[in-house]
Chain A
Amino acid sequence: MRTPDVSGAMLPAIRDGSSLHTALDLGYRQVLLERGSLLAMLGPLASAAKQGIAIFVNLDAVEGLAPDAAALAFLATDLGFSGVVSVKPHALRDASRFRLRTVQRIHAIDSTGLETGLNGIVSPAPYAIAIAPAVALPFVMPAIRAVTNIPVWGTGFVASMEQAVNVLTAGATIVSSTRVDVWQQFARVPVP
């Protein structure tokens, strides 16, 4: 894949043009479009992708896209996005056909839900799995590692630097936060 890969442990979760610019101004080279209308911020996203920013999209939560092949082709070919996040196996399979990196989202709500999610890991193996909420990661990492060695991301409810560090310490390679203050602190004190 010629699109840029993730390049650091913090993945700012954005929802509009202003949060995109905040993340880029802080020096981040990667963002996760987690909410909002993709179509309303098409210009800024496309130019960020052109400048080598790795852009991931939450297909299940972003507005303005149909969950079909035409939308995925647009993300991959026209916009040059790096990957997609989804709980839906068919969306991930379609995305991999367009050479998008696929991040399978698994909800860590309780042990039963986690079990269901881990049993449903797609084939071919996703590029990563994203555990939501990230804050549950320390509780669930052993169960995850018992079934797969795929890289783990943590997203959701990361409201402080301390929580972000806990998620990474628990074994995540990427932690995503919606909070600008966490992005700021993380940019100042990079954590290995």
Chain B
Amino acid sequence: MATRAIVPPVRPRALDGSVKRLEEAFRRIPVAAVIRRGEELPRALASQVPAIFFLRAPAFHLGPLVWAVQAKHKMAFVHIDLIAGLGKDRAGVTFLAREIGVNGIITSHSGLVAAARAERVIAIQRLLLYDDMALPSALSALEHARPDIVEVLPGVIYPLVVDQIRARLPLPIIVGGFVTEPGHRDAAMGRGALAISTSTSALWP
């Protein structure tokens, strides 16, 4: 377990500052690289993307990966719902924030958004659009949780619901999920997304 053994970089504790920094970085390069396997990381590190989303990394071997990202002056986000070995609870968020020093977490759960806020890391909450009947209640949940950023998935649905989302949530939006072609990226950016998230390395600038 590589946590305390290597001294993690000191992370600025000012959350508002780091959200602003991320937004500014996305305005220059509006892409987050989604990493599912370790071997995809070098290519993402070599690209210009300002943020890297770890989707399935093993929690207790995450430290060196996150610190490699931060050493490249990129921000590292961990999808806590999908990560192996870590509790999907406050203790899990605290571990990622304090021991690993992630810049933020990604989650579908409102409770973990509150935990991220308490730990002063960025909270990206996923809005999973698989069911039109579920959209109103999903939007209410987001309204109450007030994450820093919303990640809307899958990208193909985003143009269909962007007006409904905007009417309820004045939050920056990242569009992800099957964003595999330049056309998908352009469709999302053309409808006001802050950035896209994609595992398709051809779309990492």
Contacts and interface: CB of A to CB of B under 8 A. Distances in A.
A109 B130 contact: yes
A178 B133 CA distance: 8
A10 interface: no
Given A111-B199, A112-B55, A157 B160 contact: yes
Contact of A133 (B56, B129, B180): B129
A99 interface: no
A159 interface: yes
Contacts of A159: 132, 160
A109 B133 contact: no
A137 to B, nearest CB: 10
Interface of A: 13, 15, 34-35, 61, 107-113, 132-133, 135-136, 139-140, 155-157, 159, 178
B156 A132 contact: no
Contacts of A133: 129-132, 154, 156-157
Interface in B167-205: 176-178, 180, 199
Contacts of A113: 177
Contacts of B157: 133, 135-136, 157
Interface of B: 34, 36, 55-56, 82, 128-134, 153-154, 156-157, 160, 176-178, 180, 199
Nearest to B56: A112
B132 A157 contact: yes
A59 B79 CA distance: 28
B129 to A, nearest CB: 6
Given A136-B156, A157-B160, A159-B160, A110 B129 contact: no
B131 A109 contact: no
A140 B180 CA distance: 12
A109 B132 contact: no
A113 B130 CA distance: 12
Given A110-B153, A110-B154, A157-B160, A140 B129 contact: no
A153 to B, nearest CB: 13
14 contacts: A34-B131, A107-B130, A108-B178, A109-B129, A109-B153, A110-B178, A110-B199, A111-B199, A112-B36, A112-B82, A133-B157, A136-B177, A156-B130, A156-B131
A14 to B, nearest CB: 10
A76 B130 CA distance: 27
Please name the 8 residue pairs, one residue from A and one from B, whose CB atoms are nearest each other, closest first. Answer: A132-B130, A110-B177, A156-B131, A139-B178, A109-B153, A133-B130, A107-B130, A35-B133
A133 B199 CA distance: 20
A140 B178 contact: yes
Given A108-B154, A109-B128, 7 more contacts: A108-B178, A110-B154, A133-B129, A136-B156, A155-B131, A157-B130, A157-B157
Contacts of A108: 130, 154, 178
Contacts of A35: 133
A15, A132, A133, A159 — most chain B CB neighbours (10 Å)? A133
Contact of B129 (A13, A15, A157): A157
A34 B153 contact: no
Given A112-B36, A136-B154, A157-B160, A178 B176 contact: no
A139 B176 CA distance: 13
Contacts of B177: 109-110, 113, 136
Nearest to A131: B130
Contacts of A157: 129-132, 157, 160
Nearest to A132: B130
A109 B128 CA distance: 7
A179 B185 CA distance: 28
